[in-house]
């Protein structure tokens, strides 16, 4: 058991080193407190944790607002991208409100997955031709801008559609099992009536 706990401690320490390195300002106090404690003996107070979480939240908010302000959202191509997002989210909302067949949900899921997987091609096109449609170059080789503006909303939507499909499959499984039990009970009742005659 101690070996497992020490492996977990080492894993958390490695993860914590990565987090602290990338967000050193917000997490330096947490990192040192964690490294000075033993696994299971947490030395931070609730107030200290709230303060650290608050700092991290403020930093995340500041970074998000910096991203939002750095983008010229009035550009036509960004409006088109927003329109595509609005359209697919409205279609999904329609499937939730009005219901739809599982085949439609699966087709919709695959369509959104295809749109999401096209991000690298869109990014490469943007790298090569951004001057034709944008006022500044939003496209880097890693595709960070498209990952946030194109893929993230699509991935959230894919997750929600997948949940819908799994719920439908669960309901169908229950329905099939109920029918199977009814059929078995009918056969059993028929055998019993034959025996009593």
| 4-56: pLDDT as tens digits | 555 555 655 665 565 556 555 555 555 555 555 544 444 456 666 666 677 77
CB contact at 8 A, 25 and 59: yes
Residue of 79 and 15 predicted with greater confidence: 79
Give the residue with greater pLDDT, 52 vs 67: 67
In sequence order, what are the residues at sequence separation of 6 or more whose Cβ sits closer than 8 angstroms to the Cβ of residue 133?
A: 75, 76, 77
* Distance (Å, whole) CA 45 – CA 166: 41
Cβ atoms within 10 Å of 119's Cβ, excluding its own: 16
Query: In the predicted model, what is the mean pLDDT of residues 167-191?
Result: 88
User: How many Å is the maximal CA-CA distance in the chain?
Assistant: 89
On whether the CB atoms of residues 26 and 52 are closer than 8 A, the answer is yes
Contact between 151 and 190 under an 8 Å Cβ cutoff? The reply is: no
Q: What is the pLDDT of residues 81-127, one digit of tens each?
A: 999 999 999 999 998 888 878 888 899 999 999 999 999 999 999 99
pLDDT given at position 38? 45
């Amino acid at each position: 058991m101690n070996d497992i706990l020490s492996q977990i401690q080492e894993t958390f320490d490695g993860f914590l080193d990565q987090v602290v390195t990338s967000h050193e300002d917000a997490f330096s106090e947490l990192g040192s407190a964690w490294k000075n404690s033993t696994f299971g003996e947490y030395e931070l107070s609730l107030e200290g944790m709230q303060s650290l979480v608050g700092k991290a939240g403020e930093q995340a908010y500041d970074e998000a607002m910096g991203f939002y302000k750095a983008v010229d959202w009035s550009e036509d191509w960004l409006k088109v991208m927003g329109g595509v997002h609005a359209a697919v989210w409205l279609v999904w909302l329609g499937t939730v409100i009005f219901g739809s067949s599982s085949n439609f949900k699966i087709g919709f899921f695959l369509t959104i997955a295809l749109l999401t997987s096209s991000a690298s091609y869109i990014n490469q096109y943007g790298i090569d031709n951004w001057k034709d449609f944008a006022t500044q170059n939003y496209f880097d080789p890693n595709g960070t801008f498209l990952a946030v503006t194109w893929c993230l909303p699509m991935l959230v939507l894919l997750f929600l559609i997948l949940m819908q499909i799994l719920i439908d499959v669960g309901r169908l499984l229950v329905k099939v099992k109920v029918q199977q039990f009814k059929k078995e009970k009918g056969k059993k009742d028929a055998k019993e009536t034959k025996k009593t005659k």
